[in-house]
Amino acid sequence: MTRVLIIDDHPIVLQGCRILLEDAGACELMEAQTAVAGYRQFRRHRPDMVIVDLALNGSGLAGLSLLRRLRAQAARMPILVFSMHADPVIASRALEAGATGYLVKDTSAADLLDAFEKVRRGQPYISHDLALEVALLGTRGRSGVLADLTPRELQALALLAEGKAYGQIADELGISYKTVANTCSQLKSKLGAGNLAELIRRAIQYVAGAPVPR
């Protein structure tokens, strides 16, 4: 069973998440209402996944600092930001700080469960209404980078942004798994990504929400 730590200073949000996720039979839940308490809980219990707000106890975007600390301690742990901020700049900063997914609180229970499941599996996720705005924000001033990519690299990048694995990308593009791996290796080099997780985050920033080139 997945052990999940929820860090949020709104009791109603904590209760709602608990009820929804427990009803889905998805996990064992822990809670914290401050960044300090959340970090202590994380260090003590080492959860499998964290759901974190960005605005904690009236301290603006203190959750971003906490997010960076969590990511520094657990490079591969799934982290879902669950925030009131529907601002593409803030969402982009959260992704750059290490969030696996970003979900706006003004959303449906189905979207929360969908985001939870994808992030729990290590797949990227971003609220649908924000995806294109984040993509456009990410490409501003970066068009030269994208212009240097081949059509196949753009296709692969777009599919990575959708959370597709190498095998799924191979099936959709009608190419071999090895070709996908080689293409993604080239993307890492061109986009300055040190590993697959970084490449996926860059894919979200650059093209998430944009149609896949055909």
Res. 58 pLDDT band, cuts 50 70 90: low
Taking the C-alpha atoms of residue 191 and residue 2, their distance in angstroms, rounded to an integer, is 33
What residues does each domain of the chain span? 2-134, 141-207
Distances from the Cα of 37 to the Cα of 23, 34, 45, 72, 201, angstroms: 26, 5, 12, 17, 28
Dump pLDDT digits (tens) for 70-98: 999 999 999 999 998 888 878 888 888 89
Helices (H), the chain: 11-23, 35-45, 62-73, 88-97, 109-120, 128-139, 143-147, 151-161, 166-173, 177-191, 196-207
Tokens representing 107 are 């959303």
| 80, 99 contact by CB (below 8 A) | yes
DSSP 52-63: E-SS-TT-TTHH
CA–CA separation, 80 and 120 (whole Å):
9
Q: How far is the C-alpha of 64 from the C-alpha of 35, rounded, in Å?
A: 10
User: Which CATH number does 2-134 carry?
Assistant: 3.40.50.2300
pLDDT in tens, 124-140: 898 877 876 776 666 55
The Cβ of residue 181 has, within 10 Å, a number of other Cβ atoms equal to: 13
pTM: predicted TM-score of the whole model, two decimal places: 0.67
Architecture of domain 141-207: Orthogonal Bundle (1.10)
CB of 103 closer than 8 Å to CB of 82: yes
pLDDT at position 211 is 38
- Residues 185 and 183: their CA atoms lie apart, in Å, by 5
Q: What pLDDT, on a 0 to 100 scale, did the predictor assign at position 142?
A: 47
Question: Residue 84 has what DSSP assignment?
Answer: S
